């Protein structure tokens, strides 16, 4: 799926890049030979043939009801003149991130980042060795950290995510994401995005959708990677946010990150933020946990064709298997609602041919 | 300028619609005659000629330093291979609304809406006749309203803007905007947008810019009109916001508007919200008051070519003349900074040929 990955890396080039990358190598090679013989008119004809050779936009999805529901939905809303047609500017699709687009086990990526930051900053804070939740974070004792509850997590967040400018934090997050590896798969976290979901993002965009991320994760933690990994630009990333304060430092304006939560983009917060920031109801919403339940309900309550989809982590051998009892990405009430209302529940085990993109 | 207006009403049709609308009628008529004689090849040639006939994208702007600064800036950042080239996806332009895109005197449009709502709701609140700030609002006594300060305005806002769902409020705002008229010009408020700024919005979009509104006005008050009037879709409108609460009513999800301020999108709030919601620094920012000063400073502090512009209301005969002493849209500190730093200060009187679009 190198071709799709390449297209994702160059979103500005758009559909044409996607089409070109999807033309098999031998077709392109043949195109070059023909060109040398017959000139530019022949090239145009071969290019047209190449367009037809572009076949499956979702090659990592097995045939089955999940894939069929996606393709049917897209076909209905994109078919001009059809009864379910929706103008392109109204085709909004919202995606949760953790557990929907990339791995969230054994802990949320941002939590791993936080633990790593505590270790990095510890030499300047000798008192942390004896104070929870920092002691637990330094010793990798997640139970001790968890025992400090919300207060402890807020302390860790304040110590690791605030007190710098937005530009400084962006660099810290980008640098960490450039080297940090997943403990089980030993790939960069940014390589632990789900290949079938990358295809789905590109497929929706090819069909005129504007793809948004609507995640409980921090918006400024995600932005350094979303464009490169998912093809989603910064202005289409919604997440939890802390307050910032505009200041002049030596006459230069900066935005200082403050240790105060501004918005938690989870559960009810998702439709609230979608309404406030996007101002349109999504046509399609994708999640994997109870944190996404209200976003899917809000999407489902619109008129006309809608697509609500949950990724169910049931693949212990290739990724992880968890749902109703998990502390990260619990899928319990939303699974009941999905089953009751006929939302699509994707089985990673049965619906997906591969989990991760090939590592470059 | 009917042609530009038409293009603004069909943003999805994009550049081609703009180009076609800009071709003078006689050229189009001649095109039809030629077509009947010479067929489609001739049409293509005439269409090409029409492209050249498309001359001035800013016909309501007089020649002068303001217009020149705009055209020079756009030329520099859009010129591929040039030293100031910026890729299209990074071309963000942010516009204040009140006083920059439409009239804000004798009072902000949303304030007029609020006063009108108080009168409409008064029969259900007999106590308002004797209680400030409602008494003042009902009697049109703005001094009495102003005397109640921020507390009074918050009471008025809560009584008129909250306690309903987001969808109900959208309809209330849209219905009011469909009929409410400006007291001086006797046109619909939505017809009191500035023609030169409509041309500027379209010109920037034609040159690959994504145009945002970043206004102190309520985001849900503006959205019912921004796409139709400015060609700015809901997801590119940032404004002040109240909190909403996700609820199930008879099993159907709604977002209830609560009497609590979530964010004031003014002064420092503008760069803070731009950073949080757009996640990119604007290349160009347009305002008219001290409320826009920080947005322009934030824009100016980026590297490479930038454009900061203030609309100066100095045209008492065609619109209004006000700046340092005005209670609505005060322009004082930002004017000093603009003069000190060489930001563009547009004189409505000298730089604009016309103020408003022709009424249809």
Distance separating alpha carbons of residues A291 and A98, to the nearest angstrom: 10
DSSP states of A6-42 as a string?
A: HHHH-GGGHHHHHHHHHS-HHHHHHHHHHHHHHHHHH
User: Residue B129 is encoded by which pair of tokens?
Assistant: 């006749």
Give the rounded distance of the alpha carbon of A229 from its chain centre. 8
CB contact under 8 A, B279 and A219: yes
Q: What are phi and psi of A64, to 5 degrees?
A: 160, 180
Cβ distance of B241 and A166 shorter than 8 Å: no
3-state secondary structure of B56: coil
Q: Is B123 exposed, middle or buried (0-12, 13-18, 19+ CB in 10 A)?
A: exposed
Question: Does residue A256 belong to the interface with chain B, where contact is any CB pair within 8 Å?
Answer: no
CB contact under 8 A, B253 and A210: no
The CA distances from residue B202 to A193, B11, B75, in Å, are 38, 9, 15
Q: Which among B204, B188, B225, B298 is positioned nearest to A254, based on CA atoms?
A: B298
Locus of tokens 């916001």: B241
Rounded to the nearest 5°, which phi and psi values hold at B161? -115, -5
pLDDT score for B359? 82
Q: Does the distance separating the beta carbons of A89 and B271 come in below 8 Å?
A: no
Q: Is B167 part of the contact surface with chain A (CB cutoff 8 Å)?
A: no
Using CB atoms, which residue from B246, B276, B297 is nearest to A268? Answer: B246
DSSP string, B221-243: HHHHHHHHHH---GGGEEEEEEE
DSSP for residue A165 = B
Q: Touching check for A246 and chain B: CB below 8 Å?
A: yes
Tell me the DSSP string of A259-277: EEEEE--STTHHHHHIIII
Map residue B252 onto helix, strand or coil: strand
Distances (CA, A) of A256 to A117, A165, B45: 18, 4, 57
Which member of A12, A246, A278 has the closest CB to residue B268? Answer: A246
CB contact under 8 Å between B210 and A235, yes or no, is: yes
Residues 201-220 of B with CB under 8 A from A: 210, 219-220
B251 touches A at CB < 8 Å: no
Contact across the interface for B89 and A233, Cβ inside 8 Å = yes
Can you tell me the distance from the alpha carbon of B78 to that of B253, in angstroms, rounded to the nearest whole number? 45
Give pLDDT tens digits for A268-301: 999 999 999 999 999 999 999 999 999 999 999 9
The whole-angstrom separation of Cα B314 and Cα B323 is 8
C-alpha–C-alpha distance, residues B5 and B60, integer Å: 13
pLDDT at A40: 46
Point out the residue among B235, B255, B276 whose CB comes nearest to the CB of A272.
Answer: B255
CB pairs under 8 A between A and B: 87
Can you tell me the ipTM of this complex?
A: 0.85
Chain A residues in contact with B244 by the CB 8 A cut-off are 272, 275-276
Are B201 and B8 contacting, i.e. CB atoms less than 8 angstroms apart? yes
E strands present in B277-340: 284-287, 307-312
The token duo for A7 is 């297209």
| Nearest alpha carbon to residue B221 among B238, B198, B203 | B238
Which among A89, A220, A298 is the nearest to B233, CB-wise? Answer: A89
| Dist. CA A4–CA A18, nearest whole Å | 7
d(CA A225, CA A202): 16
DSSP secondary structure letter of residue B291: G
- Tell me how crowded residue B80 is: count the other CB atoms within 10 A of its CB: 7
- Record the pTM: 0.86
Q: What is the CA radius of gyration of chain A?
A: 22
Nearest to B254 by CA among B168, B159, B174: B168
pLDDT digits 0-9 by tens, A89-103: 999 999 999 999 999
CA distance readout (Å), B239 to A65, B218, B246: 42, 5, 20
Chain-centroid distance of CA B294 in Å reads: 18
CA dist A69 and B90 (Å) reads: 35
For A166, the closest of B12, B244, B275 (CB atoms) is: B275
User: Do residues A207 and A91 touch, judged by C-beta distance below 8 A?
Assistant: yes
Cβ–Cβ gap B235/A280 under 8 Å: yes
Neighboring chain B residues of A10 at a CB cutoff of 8 Å: none
Encode burial over B310-333: b for 16+ CB neighbours within 10 A, e otherwise.
bbbbbbeeebbebbeebeebbbee
pLDDT of residue A55: 84
* pLDDT for position B55: 83
Residue B314 belongs to what H/E stretch?
none
- CB spacing of A262 vs B276 below 8 angstroms: yes
Residue contact A276–B244, C-beta within 8 A? yes
Q: How far apart are CA B36 and CA B111, in angstroms?
A: 56
Identify whether the C-beta of residue B234 lies closer than 8 Å to the C-beta of residue B226: yes
Which residue from B minimizes the CA distance to A269? B246
Determine, for residues A235 and B11 on separate chains, whether the beta-carbon distance falls below 8 Å: no
Contacts of B245 in chain A (CB under 8 A): 268, 272
- Quote the longest CA-to-CA distance of chain B: 77
Give contacts of A276 with chain B, Cβ < 8 Å.
219, 241, 244, 262
- Integer CA distances (angstroms), A62 to A69, A316, A347, in order: 12, 18, 10
Distance CA A22, CA A15 (A): 11
Q: Where are the beta strands (DSSP E) in A114-236?
A: 210-218
Whole-angstrom distance, CA of residue B85 vs CA of residue A302: 42
Q: Residues B240, B261: contact at Cβ < 8 Å?
A: yes
Partner B contacted by A279 (CB < 8 A): yes
The A residues from 73 to 92 touching B (CB cutoff 8 Å) are: 87-89, 92
For chain A, the 3-state helix, strand and coil shares in percent, each to the nearest 5, are 55, 15, 30
Mean pLDDT, contiguous 10-residue spans, chain A (360 residues) = 31 28 37 41 47 78 98 98 97 98 97 97 97 96 92 94 98 98 97 98 98 98 98 98 96 97 97 98 98 98 98 98 96 98 98 93
Average pLDDT over residues B154-169: 97
What's residue B319's pLDDT?
98
Task: State how beta strands A252-263 and A237-249 pair.
Answer: antiparallel
pLDDT band at B54 (very low <50, low <70, confident <90, very high): low
Of chain B, the percentage scoring pLDDT greater than 90 comes to 83
Of B347, B263, B342, the residue nearest B307 (C-alpha): B342
Cβ–Cβ contact A11 with B under 8 A: yes
Closest Cα in chain A, distance from residue B130 (Å): 36
- Asked if the C-beta of A358 comes within 8 angstroms of chain B's C-beta atoms, the answer is no
The b/e string for A165-186 (b: 16+ C-beta within 10 A; e otherwise) is: bbeebbebbeebbeeeebeebe
Backbone angles phi, psi at A318, to 5 degrees: -90, -25
Put simply, whether A60 touches B (Cβ < 8 Å) is no
Could you give the CA distance from residue B172 to residue B221 in angstroms, rounded to a whole number? 9
Q: B268–A275: do the CB atoms touch at under 8 Å? A: no
User: B305, B76 in Cβ contact below 8 A?
Assistant: yes
CA distance B138 to chain A (A): 31
* Residue in B144, B142, B146 with CA at minimum distance from that of residue B131: B144
Return the HEC string of B68-114. HHHHHHHHHHHCCCCCCCCCHHHCEEEECCECCCECCCCCCHHHHHH
Nearest to B89 among A12, A246, A294 (CB): A12
* Nearest CB to A272 within list B210, B233, B246: B246
A253 touches chain B (CB under 8 A): yes
Q: List CB contacts of B217: < 8 A, sequence separation 6 or more.
A: B97, B98, B108, B109, B110, B239, B240
**Local structure of residue B330 (DSSP, 8 states):** -
**Candidates A92, A237, A246; nearest CB to B271:** A246
| Phi, psi of A143, deg, nearest 5 | -65, -40
Which residue in B87, B237, B271 is closest to A279 by CB distance? Answer: B237
Reported confidence tier of residue B46, pLDDT bands at 50, 70, 90: very low
Structure confidence at residue B56 as a pLDDT band (50, 70, 90): very high
Supply the pLDDT for residue A359. Answer: 81
Query: What local confidence, expressed as pLDDT, does residue A54 receive?
Result: 62
Preferred mutation among B211, B224, B276 to probe A, highest tally of A CBs within 10 A: B276
By residue count, chain B amounts to 360
DSSP-assigned states of every residue in B165-201: BHHHHHHHHHHHHHH-B-TTT-SBGGG-B-HHHHHHH
Pairing of strands A210-218, A92-95: parallel
Q: Rounded to a whole number, what is the distance in Å from the CA of A122 to chain B's nearest CA?
A: 29
Q: Do B279 and A237 touch (CB under 8 A)?
A: yes
Residue A244 in contact with partner chain B when CB distance is under 8 A: yes
The answer to whether residue B102 scores a pLDDT higher than 80 is yes
CA distance A303 to chain B (A): 12
Tell me the shortest Cα–Cα distance from A346 to chain B, in angstroms.
Answer: 24
Average predicted confidence (pLDDT) for chain B: 88
How far does B261 lie from chain A, in Å, by closest CA?
12
């Amino acid at each position: 799926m190198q071709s799709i990955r390449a297209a994702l890396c160059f979103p500005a080039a758009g559909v044409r890049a996607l089409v070109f990358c999807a033309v098999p190598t031998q077709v392109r090679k043949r195109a070059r030979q023909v060109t040398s013989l017959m000139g530019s008119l022949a090239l145009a004809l071969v290019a047209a043939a190449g367009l037809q050779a572009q076949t499956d936009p979702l090659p990592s999805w097995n045939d089955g009801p999940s894939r069929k529901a996606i393709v049917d939905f897209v076909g209905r809303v994109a078919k001009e003149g059809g009864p379910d047609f929706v103008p392109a500017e109204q085709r909004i699709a919202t995606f949760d991130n953790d557990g929907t687009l990339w791995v969230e086990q054994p802990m949320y990526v941002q939590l791993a980042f936080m633990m790593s930051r505590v270790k990095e900053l510890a030499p300047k804070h000798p008192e942390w060795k004896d104070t929870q939740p920092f002691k637990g974070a330094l010793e990798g004792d997640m139970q001790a950290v968890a025992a400090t509850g919300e207060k402890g997590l807020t302390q860790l967040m304040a110590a690791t995510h605030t007190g710098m400018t937005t530009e400084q934090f962006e660099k810290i997050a980008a640098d960490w994401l450039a080297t940090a590896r997943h403990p089980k798969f030993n790939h960069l976290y940014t390589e632990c995005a789900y290949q079938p979901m990358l295809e789905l993002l590109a497929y929706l965009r090819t069909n005129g959708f504007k793809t948004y991320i609507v995640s409980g994760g921090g918006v400024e933690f995600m932005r350094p990677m979303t464009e490169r990994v998912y093809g989603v630009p910064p202005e289409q990333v919604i997440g939890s946010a802390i307050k910032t304060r505009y200041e002049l430092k030596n006459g230069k304006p900066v935005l200082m990150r403050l240790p105060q939560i501004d918005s938690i983009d989870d559960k009810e917060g998702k439709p609230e933020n979608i309404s406030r920031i996007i101002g349109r109801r999504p046509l399609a919403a994708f999640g994997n946990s109870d944190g996404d339940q209200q976003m899917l309900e809000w999407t489902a309550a619109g008129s006309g064709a809608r697509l609500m989809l949950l990724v169910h982590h049931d693949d212990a051998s290739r990724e992880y298997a968890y749902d109703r009892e998990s502390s990260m990405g619990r899928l319990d009430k939303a699974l009941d609602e999905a089953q009751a209302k006929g939302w699509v529940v994707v089985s990673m085990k049965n619906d997906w041919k591969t989990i991760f993109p090939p590592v470059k």
